[in-house]
Amino acid sequence: MRSDDFRARRFEILAALREQAPVFWHEELRAFLVTRYDDVLTVLSDDDLFVPLHPDVENPSPGNFNNLYGEEHRALRGRVAPEFFVGTLRRNLEPQLPEIVGGVIDGFADRGEVELVSSYARVLPSTVMRRLLGARLPEDPSLARFEEGMEVLVELHCDPGHPELASRSEDVLPDVQSFTAQLLAREQDTPGGGILTRLHECPVDARPLTEQEILGLGAILAFTLIDTTGRLIASAVHALLAHPEQAAALRDDPALLAPAIEEALRWQPPIQFKIRHARVDTELQGVPIPRGAKVYPFIGAANRDPRVYDAPDTFDVARFREVKSQKPHLSFGWGPHFCIGAFLSKLEAQYAVRTLFERLPGLRLVGPPPRYVGFEHWGPESLPMAFDPVTVGVPS
Amino acid sequence: MRLCAVEDVPEGGCLRVEAGPAGVVVVRVGERVFALKDRCTHAGARLSEGWIDAADCTLECPEHGGRFSLATGEALAFPANRPVATFDVEVRDGEVFARLP
């Protein structure tokens, strides 16, 4: 599953599993792979049957509410959820987005070429997250080392027996820990504060969060919202450039922007699967799943289930023009764990894609077709691009 | 039944009224007044805590951004895909009345 073959032929292999073995025990990963839409939906959303951690295991990372379920999950998530409410983001963040996005494009617009993943797709979400957290998150290379380190830890969590990951995780742990420690230090110098400051303020009738929980929350928010949104922006731009007729349809009808981002999410979900564990003995598609067994609801497979979507392998920006006739993609999960940053991520991607195409005429991919990389997290490794250079920053 | 006075609802904003099984969200956009069930069809959040786009006459769910037409209740954006119930509204002498089932 971690092989180059699975990387290159991922959707083909998932399609074969979905048809022939929709609940498939993978010996090497020691997990059931679940690939049909309805089953993935059940595993993602039914906390009575499937929970994030093994039912006998304590949450090893305090503050990471992703690992919790039930009332404990609801309470911790609830402390930070209002920060990501639509009204909060529309009011406080959206007015800043044109300046943030424009500023990043200004940095390379006169050059005529750019590697989009490192110079744009990853930069925007980290800039946004700095403002939201109210922390001057350390810049690259410290931020990049933190993200790489988190990715190794996530992968090890998906595949705990993997010897190379286990040894790499020991190397990266100091990078992750030192970054996380800086979150708090930086926060204290930021006037006005942000999410991290507000997490220190305890609402009436609630218990104060421990410093460890606040740092854990900060780290998981920083990692998930930067990394996944970066991958979404990259794969959305790639999908449009690889399908010029779709890019043209979007240019002709700006109302297709939001549907196009939804389709990009369906087409190449930045998180390919989640990890769940059976809370009780259960079964799916007649396959018995014992209590404690690890289950991967494979979002990347569910999103292309032909039982749910017509021509599922086709990228079609108009597919979700009307959502009432469509089932939602599962790229943000479903149920109590539905991605807390879903709206934030879509808002950023909408501004990122629209502004890029507006500002850079003649934008095109150069070089060989991009490689999609990653295991759980997934997106183009790099996107070298050319465009007609634009003069910037000449005051009138 | 009477829901509220028109002036109780901020212009371009909304008001939650305790009525029916889930509450009703009353929205005012210019001269128009809308009433919808105050529960998102995706995950049950209160739409009255959401975001109103007066130009488009839409309401976005606060929690996950599902978007609904104020006039018809039709779902316009994921994760919502099912319509929210709307109620016929009548304004008489500055008071808002709606026909609740």
Flag whether pLDDT at A395 surpasses 60: no
Asked if B77 lies within 8 A of A81 by C-beta distance, the reply is no
Chain A residues within an 8 Å CB radius of B76? 323
Asked if A86 lies within 8 A of B60 by C-beta distance, the reply is yes
Flag whether pLDDT at A136 surpasses 70: no
Which pLDDT belongs to residue B22? Answer: 95
Chain B residues within an 8 Å CB radius of A343? 64-65
Q: Kindly report the average pLDDT of chain B as a whole number.
A: 96
Chain B residues within an 8 Å CB radius of A335? 43
Lowest-confidence region among A103-107, A154-158, A346-350, B87-91 = A154-158
| Geometric angle at alpha carbon A330, from A325 and A331, rounded to 5° | 125
Flag whether pLDDT at B11 surpasses 90: yes
Which pLDDT belongs to residue A125? Answer: 95
DSSP H/E element including A38: helix A37-45
Among the listed residues A392, A390, A382, A394, the one whose alpha carbon sits nearest the alpha carbon of residue A362: A390
Q: What is the pLDDT of residues A151-198, one digit of tens each?
A: 888 888 777 778 888 899 889 888 888 887 777 666 665 556 788 888
Chain A residues within an 8 Å CB radius of B83? 324
| Geometric angle at alpha carbon A359, from A111 and A233, rounded to 5° | 90
> pTM for the whole thing?
0.94
Among the listed residues A288, A324, A284, the one whose alpha carbon sits nearest the alpha carbon of residue A42: A284
Chain B residues within an 8 Å CB radius of A342? 64-65, 79
Lowest-confidence region among A119-123, A128-132, A226-230, A291-295 = A128-132
Q: What is the pLDDT of residues A249-292, one digit of tens each?
A: 999 999 999 999 999 999 999 999 999 999 999 999 999 999 99
Interface subset of B 40-69, CB within 8 angstroms of A: 43, 49-51, 60-65
Give the number of other Cβ atoms within 10 Å of residue A7's Cβ. Answer: 16
| Geometric angle at alpha carbon A117, from A196 and A139, rounded to 5° | 40
Of A90, A328, A335, the CB nearest to B78: A328
How far A356 CA lies from chain B's nearest CA (Å)?
A: 23
Asked if A323 lies within 8 A of B43 by C-beta distance, the reply is no
How far A281 CA lies from chain B's nearest CA (Å)?
A: 27
Chain A residues within an 8 Å CB radius of B50? 86-87
Which pLDDT belongs to residue A393? Answer: 66
Asked if A87 lies within 8 A of B49 by C-beta distance, the reply is yes
What's A191's DSSP letter?
A: S
Task: Identify the closest residue of chain B to A332 by CA–CA distance.
Answer: B79
Distance of CA A180 to the CA centre of its chain: 19
Distance of CA B78 to the CA centre of its chain: 18
Contacts from A146-154 at CB under 8 Å and sequence distance 24+? A146/A175, A146/A176, A146/A179, A146/A180, A146/A222, A146/A223, A147/A223, A147/A226, A147/A227, A148/A172, A148/A175, A149/A173, A149/A175, A149/A176, A149/A179, A150/A176, A150/A219, A150/A223, A150/A227, A151/A227, A151/A374, A151/A377, A154/A376, A154/A377
Q: What is the pLDDT of residues A12-59, one digit of tens each?
A: 999 999 999 999 999 988 999 999 999 999 999 999 999 999 988 888
Of A324, A335, A342, the CB nearest to B81: A324
Q: Does A328 touch chain B (CB under 8 A)?
A: yes
Please state the φ and ψ torsions of residue A64, each to the nearest 5 degrees.
-85, 90
Asked if B79 lies within 8 A of A332 by C-beta distance, the reply is yes
Both tokens assigned to A381: 């490794």
d(CA A297, CA B70): 35
Q: What is the pLDDT of residues A299-322, one digit of tens each?
A: 999 999 999 999 999 999 999 999
